[in-house]
Amino acid sequence: MPMPNLTVLRTYALKPNPTDLPSSVLFCHTETSLTIFDAYPKAMFHFLVLPRVIPPTTTSELMSLRSLLAVEKERAWGIVEMLGKDAEQVRGMVEDEMVKRYGFKWDIWIGFHSVPSMEHLHLHVISSDLISPALKNKKHYNSFHPKLGFFLHLKDVLSWFDSDPSYFDMMSGLKKDQYEPLLKEDLVCWECDKAFKNIPALKTHLQGIWDERVRREKNRLEKKRKRDHEDEEAAATQTSLPSNKRVDTGDAS
């Protein structure tokens, strides 16, 4: 069994020229960050935004969120803020792709794992469906549950910088003992709070939510298509109001 490489993200972040990376790895990059496809996506869309290593910031400061939050507040803030800006660009690209592929968009979460498994800071950009063959166990699911507390939303992390220094100090400790137990919590649907006995049952539920969403969106698009079609006909016959504002007179003509 090959031992997985837990430092591969750092080798990516150190590339002087990110475009050397295979296109199967690199999604996009800026002067200060690169965004890669998560190798084991836990949702239909799942990317990691990594800070590039730019002096005076060092690889060891960029090891994790915890190590970054230990450097001077202003410099740490600048890096988190920069990652957030670049993640928002990625969000926009993902939303475009959602519309292109499915005709609608759904939530995208942006945040850090409180206890990371791989070295080098990485900001997750992940779609809220949580449907993926690589999502296989409770730890995978709970690590992205948006209300459980293990997943730290970017907005919340940024808010720590504006709060009392004592609160910042408390949160920035990111103690393993405080967060790791959350991964063992019972399986609960993040959307409807229903509990599940095991992962296969939860995955069936998530798939059901998705199938229902697709069905509703199809109906919506079909209704809109019909409305627009009627409006075209109405315009052709000089009827003034769009069909969705018209009062039904029961006139069949």
Partner DNA sequence: GTTCTAGAAC
- Which one of 46, 120, 122, 124 is the catalytic residue? 122
Instruction: Mark the segment that binds DNA (CB under 7 A) among 12-20, 21-29, 195-203, 233-241.
Output: 195-203
Out of 53, 118, 188, 189, name the contact with DNA by CB under 7 A.
Answer: 118
Cβ-based nearer residue to DNA, 79 or 115: 115
Q: Is 140 in the site for DNA (CB under 7 A)?
A: yes
Q: Is 105 in the site for DNA (CB under 7 A)?
A: no
Structural contact between residues 135 and 42, judged by C-beta atoms closer than 8 angstroms = yes
Out of 113, 123, 142, 206, name the contact with DNA by CB under 7 A.
Answer: 113
R_g of the chain, CA atoms, integer Å:
23
Instruction: Mark the segment that binds DNA (CB under 7 A) among 58-66, 67-75, 160-168, 196-204.
Output: 196-204
- What is the tally of helices (H) and strands (E) in the chain? 8, 8
Q: How many CB atoms lie under 10 A from the CB of residue 36? A: 22
Out of 7, 11, 19, 137, name the contact with DNA by CB under 7 A.
Answer: 137
Q: Is 6 in the site for DNA (CB under 7 A)?
A: yes
Structural contact between residues 154 and 161, judged by C-beta atoms closer than 8 angstroms = no
Out of 117, 166, 237, 238, name the contact with DNA by CB under 7 A.
Answer: 117
Helix axes 154-162, 73-102, angle to 10 degrees: 160
Cβ-based nearer residue to DNA, 33 or 142: 142
Structural contact between residues 123 and 154, judged by C-beta atoms closer than 8 angstroms = yes
What is the rounded distance in angstroms from the CA atom of residue 54 to the CA atom of residue 51? 9
Q: Is 24 in the site for DNA (CB under 7 A)?
A: no
Q: What single letter denotes the amino acid at residue 7? A: T
- Report angle CA 155, 48, 177 to the nearest 5 degrees: 65
- Tell me, yes or no, if 122 is annotated catalytic: yes
Residue with tokens 């949580």: 130
List residues with catalytic annotation. 122
Contacts to DNA by CB under 7 A: 1, 3-4, 6, 40, 113, 117-118, 134, 136-140, 143, 197-201
